[in-house]
Chains A and B, each alone.
Chain A
Amino acid sequence: MIRGDPVIRGDRGTRPPSTGRDYTRHALGTIGRATLLAVLPAFFALPLLWLASAPFDAHPSITTSVPEFTLANFRSLLENPYALSSLRNSLIQAGGSAAIVVVLAALAAYALSRVRVPGRDALLYVLLLLSSVVTGTAAMVPLFELATRLNLIDTHLGVILTLSGGLLPAAIFILKDFMDGTPTSYEESARVFGASPLQILGHIVIPLVRPGLATIAVWAVANVWGSFLQPFILLRDPGKAPGAVILYTLYTEGGAPRLDLISAFSLLYSLPVVVMYVFVSRRYGFRFHGGIKR
């Protein structure tokens, strides 16, 4: 009967689903989505939970459990001669690379953004493509060879230069985008008042792209902090090795991981990066587009 009645059919078509079955389906969908959204973060939260509990557990295992509270893990970590100094090495290498990357990328991005160079975009893309190769596994042999010839083996500088080289193209690429987004009339205005290119960079451009510079600095530090292969290969002296490399040495003679040391060290190792993120994000905010805050 309803089939034969076009008025009712037409009317129902425009109304939101309100019959019993539609309603149930709608509710089930919402519940399902909420459950999924709740479970997914839990998945990511578990390792973090481990990082928070295991260091204080007298008998840490690879599962998360309520800890039997102790600070003994940290005490035995301090007995390891390289543990604390490795964090200092990490700081030197990360800080050095970040400084080089920010300074060079800012200068290069400014020039590339403001001067019309033929083939500029192609150049950037090729650099970007090569950068993953340059510091990647594939180039380790020639890099080692190069570092040996330049007497850079077993120096912080060797690690810093290698890692900076790999980060620079992406940093230039991102910063150029920031600089493209700032109007040239600010700089032209300063130029008419007689400002030199370096003054323009210092007074106008850098303050305007400061969030971009902060982003690049944090990104560079985080990258270097987590780099293992390059320092592992370029450094011989464990007294110069960064945290990522030392973490790899916290095993018993038999080759079993010392979870008490590893968990405590992991916590110490990750804290500086977390603190930096929070600080920089508070101070500058991370923004990848439109560098100006008017």
Chain B
Amino acid sequence: MISLSGLTKEFPGGVRAIDSLDLEIADGEFFALLGPSGCGKTTLLRTIAGLETPTSGNIRIGAVDVTRLPPGRRDVAMVFQDYALFPHMDVTANIAYPLRIKKVPRAAREAKAAETASRLSLSELLGRRPGQLSGGQQQRVALARAIASHPTVFLFDEPLSNLDARLRLEARTFLKRLQRELAVTTVFVTHDQGEALALADRIAVMSAGRIMQVGTPSEVFQRPANTFVAAFIGSTPMNLLPGRAENGALHVAGAVLPLPPGVREGPIVYGLRPEYADLTQSPPLGRNDAFTGKVAVVENLGTAHLVTLESPSAEANHLLQVVVPEGEEPGLGTPAWVTPRPGRALLYRDDELLTSA
């Protein structure tokens, strides 16, 4: 188990890269640190590894307080974003390096390197230098080196971001399977929400050195705790529309929607994922709980289209995005109506989740 309490890292010059952060990561868990660029993910990972000294707070791995221990005594292995394979050593020597430090005899460590390499289908490449490997192969060598060191914790800093889109999907599946097999606690940094949702057992969404939400992928996707997480998670950004709870109904962008019980009157933010609404090209009969607007943009997503509606009324001049199945996309400039699916919208007040609607 890794537990961080009150962890703060302030760089000279006053940048608070991590801001009194508390977090617990369970044994064997695949844990993702997700957040936009510059939010402190790498700094947090490096602090856990011991490459940065925290300004305050402490770090425990298992039962040991490692806050003041040097990196080499924390029993962690880190895969850097640029892989940091030693350019002057061949693949065998790179994979065997952690064992060389542990003074394992040459024959034993080379055998171990060969075994680890074959597990990651690297056997053909043992004699090559990192410069003679493709990005995907380098990534696997870096993983093999981490595995060979037999740590209690893996720390991965965006290990997939240097791969091209197709390879990234393959590597993602591979990584997930590998982690299941090894069952080693893994902390994984990424700024790609899709990657985090796909890989992680739990996700911590970070912003400006703080944790905005911790939860399983379905928790952070279905019930984002605040509008930051709501906007950050999801391959198409969630619609966040300002509205009011008034006279027992929700007034949002010209639509009047039923007010869920227990919501007090006042301003709210109405969150609706583009996937959770249906678009029609005529007004739904006998109802006024639909948004309306003119089709401004249609983007092809492959199996679906992302349609952006421009609201006509001046007082509610907001863009609304909806995902429409293949073959049902409306023409540009035509009027369209959007009906939210019941129970799928989220209501926020003071940037906190109230309930779903």
Contact B84 A194 (CB under 8 A): no
Contact A185 B77 (CB under 8 A): no
Q: Which of B76, B77, B87 touches A208 (beta carbons < 8 Å)?
A: B87
Contact A186 B84 (CB under 8 A): yes
On chain B, the residues within 8 Å of A186 by CB distance are: 84, 86-87
Q: Tell me which of A191, A192, A199 has the highest count of chain B C-beta atoms within 10 A of its own C-beta.
A: A192
On chain A, the residues within 8 Å of B74 by CB distance are: 192
Bound Cα distance from A271 to B247, whole angstroms: 101
Instruction: Name A199-244 residues within 8 Å CB distance of B.
Output: 199, 203-204, 207-208
Contact B72 A194 (CB under 8 A): yes
Instruction: Determine how close the nearest CB of chain A comes to the CB of B2; give it in whole angstroms.
Output: 15
Instruction: Determine how close the nearest CB of chain A comes to the CB of B142; give it in whole angstroms.
Output: 9
Instruction: Name B70-119 residues within 8 Å CB distance of A.
Output: 70-74, 76-78, 80, 82, 84, 86-88, 97-98, 100-102
Q: Tell me which of B98, B102, B130 has the highest count of chain A C-beta atoms within 10 A of its own C-beta.
A: B98
Q: Is B167 an interface residue (CB 8 A)?
A: no
On chain B, the residues within 8 Å of A193 by CB distance are: 72, 77, 97-98, 101, 149
Contact A185 B72 (CB under 8 A): no
Contact B80 A294 (CB under 8 A): no
Number of interface residues of B (CB under 8 A): 26
Q: Is A293 an interface residue (CB 8 A)?
A: yes
Q: Is B51 an interface residue (CB 8 A)?
A: yes
Q: Which of A190, A292, A293 touches B97 (beta carbons < 8 Å)?
A: A190
On chain B, the residues within 8 Å of A183 by CB distance are: 82, 84
CB within 8 Å: A-B pair count: 63
Q: Is A65 an interface residue (CB 8 A)?
A: no
Instruction: Determine how close the nearest CB of chain A comes to the CB of B336; give it in whole angstroms.
Output: 51
Bound Cα distance from A191 to B82, whole angstroms: 16
Q: Which of A185, A195, A199, A203 touches B84 (beta carbons < 8 Å)?
A: A185
On chain B, the residues within 8 Å of A293 by CB distance are: 87-88
Q: Which of A191, A199, A203, A207 touches B71 (beta carbons < 8 Å)?
A: A191
Contact A188 B80 (CB under 8 A): yes
0 or 1 for each of B114-151: is its CB under 8 Å from A? (1 = yes)? 00000000000000011100000000000000000100
Bound Cα distance from A199 to B72, whole angstroms: 12
Q: Is B214 an interface residue (CB 8 A)?
A: no
Q: Which label, helix, strand, loop or mixed, suits the secondary structure of the A interface?
A: helix
Q: Is B49 an interface residue (CB 8 A)?
A: yes
Contact B77 A192 (CB under 8 A): yes
Tell whether A195 pairs with B87 under 8 Å between CB atoms, given A185-B80, A188-B51, A294-B130: no
- Cβ-closest chain B residue relative to A207: B88
On chain B, the residues within 8 Å of A76 by CB distance are: none
Tell whether A208 pairs with B88 under 8 Å between CB atoms, given A188-B80, A192-B78, A193-B97: yes
- Cβ-closest chain B residue relative to A195: B101
On chain B, the residues within 8 Å of A70 by CB distance are: none
Instruction: Determine how close the nearest CB of chain A comes to the CB of B109; give it in whole angstroms.
Output: 12
Contact B130 A192 (CB under 8 A): no
Q: Tell me which of B49, B84, B98 has the highest count of chain A C-beta atoms within 10 A of its own C-beta.
A: B84
Contact B72 A204 (CB under 8 A): no
Q: Is A270 an interface residue (CB 8 A)?
A: no
Q: Is A189 an interface residue (CB 8 A)?
A: yes
On chain B, the residues within 8 Å of A204 by CB distance are: 86
Where the two chains meet, the residues of A that have a C-beta atom closer than 8 Å to any C-beta of B are 183, 185-186, 188-196, 199, 203-204, 207-208, 292-294
Q: Which 6 residue pairs across A and B have the least CB separation, nearest first? A: A194-B72, A294-B131, A189-B84, A185-B84, A193-B98, A207-B88
A-B contacts, 24 listed (Cβ < 8 Å):
A183-B84, A185-B82, A186-B87, A188-B78, A188-B80, A188-B84, A189-B80, A191-B70, A191-B71, A192-B49, A192-B71, A192-B74, A193-B77, A193-B98, A193-B101, A193-B149, A194-B98, A194-B101, A196-B72, A204-B86, A293-B87, A293-B88, A294-B129, A294-B130
Where the two chains meet, the residues of B that have a C-beta atom closer than 8 Å to any C-beta of A are 49-51, 70-74, 76-78, 80, 82, 84, 86-88, 97-98, 100-102, 129-131, 149
